[in-house]
Structure 1
Amino acid sequence: MDPLVRLKDAHAKNKIPDDVYDLIVKRFPIAVSGINRIEKASGIRYPIAYVEPSLVVSSPDPNSYQYGILFARTIPVVFDEKFQVVIQISAPLIAYGLKGTIHAILAHEFLHFLELIRKISKMELLSDEISGNLFENVYSDETRLFEPRAVFKDRTLLNHITKKFPAGFRDFRLEDKVMKFWADRNLPKSNISLDANTVKLSAESLSKIKLAPAFISKIEQLEQKSTKIRKNRLY
């Protein structure tokens, strides 16, 4: 899969102007280096990733002024009875994010991927909790993920993650640039509801998902390390 295929299509249809397209293509290697870095630091292959040529925002209520920018999303896909996890990276992040920010967000989505695989291996995905409040979602997000220190052996990457995600990601500099150079130019925008980020798979679909035993074993080891780190932090 060409990770820039949707961006190229949007550019061909004149939805993305030349200057923005050229900027994203020029800076995309930053994301590639981040993925390579995460794979090296974790020993686990990164899921398929692609650039979404739009600004993705989420609001708990279509009539509400409260919204959050989703710079990346972890999306489970079942196609022809085959299960695949895809990481969606928003084009504005590639265009305007600092290298450390891009790598931190990619690493954060990687933790979502691991959590998703953990739940699938334990058949825990029949119904995920839904919260209509952005802050509540941030809290539940942080409490469910693997501990970064249990997953990554890269001190600089860990510093990026802890600085960018102390209690949910927020980068005012990046958000200001995105609003000025993307939103104010009326470039493509996608609105999704918060519950669109939850995962619901039937028991039949879960039973058909095949995971490599070695991968499941690796996930279990990371889960044990995460639990140990949390206990040490509490006591």
Structure 2
Amino acid sequence: MTVAQGVRRAFDGREVLAGVDLTIREGEFVALLGRSGSGKSTLLRAMAGLDPEIGGQLLVPRRRSVVFQDPRLQPWKRVLDNVVIGLPRQGARERGRAALAEVGLAAHERAWPATLSGGEAQRAALARALVREPELLLLDEPFGALDALTRIRMHALLRELCAKHRPAVLLVTHDVDEAILLADRVLVLTDGRIGLAREVRLEGARQRTDPAFAELRGDLLAELGVADGS
């Protein structure tokens, strides 16, 4: 269980997080939407343990991993060495190879990061996160820099891997459609607090042609202050 209670954070006197309460159950996939500057990534960084100035209470699993929009691969290390960085040496390379196979990069273990496409680099970053078997997987707009077709493939891969490994997941995204397609629950961060929460319980809601998808999309866009012109 991942729990945030009364989480606060201010920058230069401006309160970005104003008492956020959030619970993510084991194996649950939560997507967090919000306007630019709303504090989505600030909350994610707090849960990752990357912000010592955070206020409030956070109860997060010890085993947690983060995937950022930038894959952040070290260019002087080959792909496999990037995946296993920081792991205990015994058995690390075997685990790393298994993780690369899961994301479809088994043939790229000795490649240099500079030779990978954007999608391949993000697959390597995902392998690096999952090889640690995290109880909490934090995703900070990991597909934001990818083209539309690659994003679709990455969505399918992420759903498959999360179903297999069953971590709790927090996805920060600007993309309302992405949130609905991937998450069990979609939240909107407004004025430093969770302003709207919607469950995505019906499989039909994940199909863009289903009326449930359009209804949920409209609700979320309205909360974000955007008219749904689709």
TM-score, structure 2 as length reference: 0.27
TM-score, structure 1 as length reference: 0.26
Bigger fraction of residues in strand: 2
